């Protein structure tokens, strides 16, 4: 199971308190995660916390591109966490080889075409709408079946836009338009997502549904969750703490 280290270059991230919102500190944190054995560094400039407002394309580019340039030069495998095709293109030019689109292609109708042309890996996440009001969209019949069918629809669109199937990684979008019970159900039945036949990425790190009042408490819950995912056919986990996750995965 791969470990993708989270590098949020945002001033409002809950988990890192905006600590890494300058190029210098972001690069230093990226280097630290690399030394801890991160397989991929996921760099994002736009917060997707519930309730978050969007930022402009210019702001997003100014946050992520300098960090990608520096970490790519240090040999990191980089994923760009963006919903914008234009940002994905600039990020790939700067050295990213994965596009992590939390909207699965729904936020920008140029995204699938861009990913197809760029030929990078494309992480397609389950998504129902922007963070500002996503909680109102957490209505499901059977959450796992609904997520699977909505993912399948986006996978079909991605493939018809020219993305090679072997470049697609899927993600059930833990915490996105989902109540706690939906997140737990998706994790319990993750094998059904794996059955779609694509590599599966899980991003549960320090999210609200884990409970706890502080990042530290949520960190402990995250490690437990990752432990439980080992051996279940998961391709990777997207996490804040790299070394503890490498250890927990190796020890299971």
Binding site for ligand PMM (CB under 6 A): 6, 8, 13, 15, 48-49, 81, 100, 102, 123, 125, 171, 173-174, 201, 203, 205, 238
Q: Which of 207, 208, 218, 246 is labelled catalytic?
A: 207
Closest to 224 measured CA to CA, from 211, 233, 235: 211
Please say whether the beta carbons of 144 and 186 come within 8 A: yes
d(CA 89, CA 225): 34
Report helix, strand or coil for 197: coil
Find the shortest distance in angstroms from Cβ 205 to ligand PMM.
Answer: 6
How many angstroms separate the CA atoms of 51 and 147, rounded? 21
Residues in the chain: 252
> By C-beta, is 32 or 73 nearer to ligand PMM?
32
Q: Which of residues 174 and 242 has its CB atom nearest to ligand PMM in the complex? A: 174
- Is the separation of the CB atoms in 63 and 45 below 8 Å? yes
Question: Least distance in Å: CB of 27 to ligand PMM?
Answer: 18
Q: Give me the least distance between CB of 131 and ligand PMM, in Å please.
A: 9
Least gap, CB of 184 to ligand PMM (angstroms): 15
Q: What is the largest CA-CA distance in the chain?
A: 47
Structure tokens at 165: 């199937």
Residue nearest ligand PMM, Cβ-based: 203
Cα distance between residue 112 and residue 127, in whole Å:
15
Question: 80 vs 116, which CB is nearer to ligand PMM?
Answer: 80
Between 73 and 224, CB nearer to ligand PMM = 224
Judged by DSSP in three states, 240 sits in coil
The verdict on whether 238 is a catalytic residue reads yes
Which of 84, 148, 238, 246 is an active site residue? 238
List active site positions: 207, 238
């Amino acid at each position: 199971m791969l470990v993708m280290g989270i590098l949020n270059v945002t001033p409002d991230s809950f988990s890192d308190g905006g600590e890494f919102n300058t190029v210098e500190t972001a690069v230093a944190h990226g280097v630290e995660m690399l030394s801890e054995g991160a397989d991929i560094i996921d760099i994002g400039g736009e917060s997707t916390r519930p309730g978050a407002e969007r930022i402009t394309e210019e702001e997003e580019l100014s946050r992520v591109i300098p960090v990608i340039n520096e970490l790519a030069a240090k040999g990191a495998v980089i994923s760009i966490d963006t919903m914008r095709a234009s940002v994905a293109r600039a990020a790939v030019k700067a050295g990213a080889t994965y596009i992590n689109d939390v909207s699965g292609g729904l936020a920008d109708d140029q995204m699938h075409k861009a990913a197809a042309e760029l030929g990078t890996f494309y992480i397609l996440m389950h998504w129902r709408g922007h963070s500002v009001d996503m909680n109102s969209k957490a209505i499901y019949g059977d959450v796992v079946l609904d997520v699977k069918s909505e993912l399948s629809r986006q996978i079909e669109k991605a493939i018809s836009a020219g993305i090679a199937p072997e470049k697609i990684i899927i993600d059930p979008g833990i915490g996105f338009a989902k109540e706690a019970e939906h997140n737990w159900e998706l994790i319990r039945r993750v094998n059904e997502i794996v059955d779609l036949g694509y590599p599966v990425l899980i991003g549960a790190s320090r999210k609200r549904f884990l409970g706890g009042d502080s990042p530290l408490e949520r960190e402990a819950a995250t490690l437990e969750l990752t432990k439980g995912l080992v051996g279940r056919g998961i391709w990777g986990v997207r996490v804040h703490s790299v070394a503890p996750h490498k250890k927990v995965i190796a020890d299971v």
